[in-house]
Amino acid sequence: MLISEAILKMKEMCSPDESESHNGAACDGYSWSQTIADVDISVKVPKHVVKGKQIKVETTNRLVKVVAGDDCLLDGELTNRVKCEETIWSLVPGKCVQLHFEKCEERWWDGLLTTDGKIDVRQIDSTRSLYDYSESDEMRIREMVLHQERKTANHEPKAVEEMLKTAWDADGSPFKGTPYDPSKVNFQA
């Protein structure tokens, strides 16, 4: 994900509630979402927190801590490792701090922090945008889709032919009892 895309995505999320916890959870004071490759956290901040210098964010590949003044807003051990050098955070003044992490491994997390309750990863929407794949994988997928479409298109005339043969001798057909001859049928719509 490009940095500009991550920042736009972070600005769209700002209130820890169910709508902001896609494939994640809404917790007390924060919510989190995930894709197979990254994790986003939205941490509520007091209304008076309007400048980035009022926030202190500390991250390692397994820990996250967000502090506003003397208030610790989030502090805990992540359930899985992240690439801390790829961490991006931004403040939406008076609303929230948004953090974006890239996962070390592409996998679904069953929780954000080790102290959190678990989510059912079987309920996760695991669809991926075609643009989430590498360029070479995207090309292979497009080739497979095109191949399948061509394969289906080649079978379609055969399926129509089979339906015609079945209907030819069906009860109520004007052709019942006569030899199958598709040239006797007008296919105009």
Mean pLDDT of all residues belonging to the chain: 83
163/98 same-domain check:
no
Contact 140, 133 (CB under 8 A): no
85/14 same-domain check:
yes
Asked if residue 133 belongs to a domain, the reply is: no
* Residue 156 confidence (pLDDT): 67
Distance from C-alpha of 161 to C-alpha of 105, rounded to nearest angstrom: 50
Q: Ramachandran region of residue 150, left (φ > 0), alpha (ψ -120 to 50) or beta?
A: alpha
Higher pLDDT, 18 or 152: 152
Residue 165, pLDDT above cutoff 70 = yes
Count of domains for the chain: 2
Asked if residue 189 belongs to a domain, the reply is: no
Q: Is 175 helix (H, G, I), strand (E, B) or coil?
A: coil
144/119 same-domain check:
no
Considering 97, 124, 151, which residue would you say is the last residue of a domain? 124
Question: Which pTM was predicted?
Answer: 0.63
Considering 92, 124, 156, which residue would you say is the last residue of a domain? 124
∠ CA 92-69-73 to the nearest 5 degrees? 65
What are the pLDDT digits (tens) for 79-114? 999 999 989 999 999 999 999 999 999 999 999 999
Asked if residue 119 belongs to a domain, the reply is: yes
- The pLDDT-based confidence of 184 (bands split at 50, 70, 90) is confident
The residue range of the domain holding 59 is 3-124
Q: Can you list the pairs that 142-151 forms with residues at least 24 positions away whose Cβ atoms lie under 8 Å?
A: none
* Residue 138 confidence (pLDDT): 80
109/162 same-domain check:
no
